[in-house]
Amino acid sequence: MLYHLLYPLAYKLSLLNVLRYPSFRIVAAGLTAMVLGLLLGPIFIERMRVLQYGSTNVREDTPDTHKKKAGTPSMGGALILASVAIATLLFADLTNRFVWAALLVTLGYGAIGFTDDWLKISKKNSKGLAGKKKLVLQVLVVVVVYYACLTDWRFHVEHRFPWVFVGSYVDLHVTLPFVPSRIFNPDLGFLYLPFMVFVVIATSNAVNLTDGLDGLAIGPTIVSAMTFLALSYVAGATIAGFSLAEYLRVPYIPGAEELGVFCSAIFGAGVAFLWYNTYPASVFMGDVGSLALGGGLGMMAVLTKNEFASAILHGVFLTETVSVILQVWSFKTTGKRIFRMAPIHHHYELKGWAEPKIIVRFWIISVMLALVALLSIKLR
């Protein structure tokens, strides 16, 4: 918004010329989101405490340390989303369809998570939104955003239906980490949309499963946001006519550099939230935060053409999800559990690991996986 309002005035005030550079707006968005989160955090937490909007979904079989957390203010993800949305709308180029796609999916998934949290809080110990309803809504959000923001519809009066689908603004090819595109670069065609839906939903639900310890989910989310910031900038930016994408032999995506503003906003809002969510947490993000942030990261994987590389980057989220799947499968087929408790972070708790130790070690693993994911781009 500021980009569109103030940059045209640059001829009167040369200082405003900095708004033309994505790099400046990326930094500004991150700082804005961070300051908003830090300033509004205490107000939000106190309001949630007064309204008694606290965590109620503590499992009966959870470690004893978690039972003490009952009543901790929840739905902190709403603060994250507000900071991300404001910073993105202020500093991003709002004519960029990629920015709108990422932001709308994030907010749409946030609305789903908010509904889930609200049902849990208002009905006390409720399971929230039914799983099937949640899944249908998640699919619907991605499909609607895809056709609204990422496809080309043109008006043709000679056709029976005036609006005719022409094509997609998203490259329908996929690549594998460490594998050159000349070896593996298939065009999925009409199958890409279901693939895209799967990536976004899987990432969203994986982040949701990871959000079980103080700061455990937001830490890797911050790391992922910074990684996607770098990947989006590389994919779309040109410096003095020099294309970073061409140099690194990654798909060139015009306009992708604007996604750096969105990623920076997630980074800033995430750091601010971590200030209050670090152990012992003063607030939980709730489903409104975990589903939304996961959806946003899933969209970044799609929009930067790193769908499979994101499996490396999101290795912590993936491990948490796989541990749940294996636990359920093993118990249903053999009657035995592989882990003491799933997701796997609870397994380590029951083994006697202190909560801060689990969190920090998962953060370290997340940083290592991010470096591997970045390395895979160059070695491709």
Domain range annotation of the chain = 2-171+187-305
The model carries a pTM of 0.93
Where residue 179 falls among pLDDT bands split at 50, 70, 90?
Answer: confident
Cβ neighbours for 349, distance < 8 A, ≥ 6 positions apart = 63, 65, 213, 341, 355, 358
pLDDT at 377: 79
Residue with more model confidence, 234 or 378? 234
* pLDDT given at position 56: 61
| Mean pLDDT calculated for residue range 217-238 | 96
Residue among 162, 213, 198 at smallest CA distance from 310: 198
Per-residue model confidence (pLDDT) at position 94: 94
Question: Per-residue pLDDT for 194 more than 90?
Answer: yes
Task: Tell me: pLDDT of 125 over 70.
Answer: no
Pick from 53-57, 97-101, 239-243, 358-362: least confident: 53-57
157 pLDDT more than 70: no
* Mean pLDDT, residues 62-89: 87
Average per-residue pLDDT in the chain?
90
Kindly state the percentage of the chain with pLDDT values over 70: 88
pLDDT recorded at residue 62: 65
**Of 60-69, 185-194, 315-324, where does the model show the most confidence?**
315-324
Q: Residue 52: what pLDDT?
A: 81
Nearest by Cα to 90 from 174, 2, 215: 2
Does pLDDT of 266 surpass 90? Answer: yes
Mean pLDDT over residues 308-318, rounded? 97
The pLDDT of 157-166, averaged and rounded, is 54
Calculate mean pLDDT across residues 143-170: 74
**Structure confidence at residue 163 as a pLDDT band (50, 70, 90):** low
Residue 9 pLDDT > 70: no
- Confirm if 197 and 331 have CB atoms less than 8 A apart: no
What are 48-75's pLDDT values in tens digits?
Answer: 998 888 776 555 656 666 667 777 999 9
Quick: pLDDT tens for 231-246: 999 999 888 778 888 8
Residue 1 has pLDDT above 60, yes or no: yes
Segment 331-358 shows an average pLDDT of 93
**What sections of 314-354 are H helices per DSSP?**
315-334, 344-350
The C-alpha angle with vertex 211 and arms to 85 and 346, in degrees rounded to 5, equals: 175
Percent of the chain with pLDDT over 90: 71
**Which among 291, 336, 341, 280 is positioned nearest to 317, based on CA atoms?**
291
Confidence (pLDDT) at 122:
82
Q: Convert the pLDDT of each residue in 18-51 to its tens digit.
A: 888 899 999 999 999 999 999 999 999 999 998 8
pLDDT at position 242, please?
80
pLDDT above 80 (res 332)? yes
What distance in Å separates the CA atoms of residue 130 and residue 113, rounded to the nearest whole number? 12
Q: Provide the pLDDT confidence category of residue 126 given band limits of 50, 70 and 90.
A: low
Q: What is the pLDDT of residue 84?
A: 99
Amino acid at 300: M
CB 87 within 8 A of CB 33: yes
Average pLDDT of span 170-199? 91
